[in-house]
Amino acid sequence: HMAFLEAHDFVTQDGALTPDGVWASKLRIDAPLLVAQGIRKNLLPQQDPALLAAIVSAFVNEKEFSDDLLYTGSLPKRLKDVFLENRKGLKPFALQLLESGFDAPNLFIQPCALLYAWAHDAPWEEMINGSDFAEGDLARLILRTSENLRQIASLEDSFPQIAMTARRAIDLIVKEPVVMV
Residue 69: predicted pLDDT: 67
Residue 181: predicted pLDDT: 67
- Rounded to two decimals, what is the model's pTM? 0.94
Q: Which residues are CB-neighbours of 78 under 8 A, at least 6 positions away?
A: 48, 51
How far apart are the C-alpha atoms of 66 and 150, rounded to whole Å? 29
Q: Please, are residues 168 and 49 in contact by the beta-carbon 8 Å criterion?
A: yes
Residue 130: predicted pLDDT: 84
Residue 4: predicted pLDDT: 96
pLDDT tens-digit map of 102-161? 999 999 999 999 999 999 999 999 999 988 889 999 999 999 999 999 999 999 999 999
Within 41-134, where are the H helices?
49-60, 77-99, 109-119, 124-129
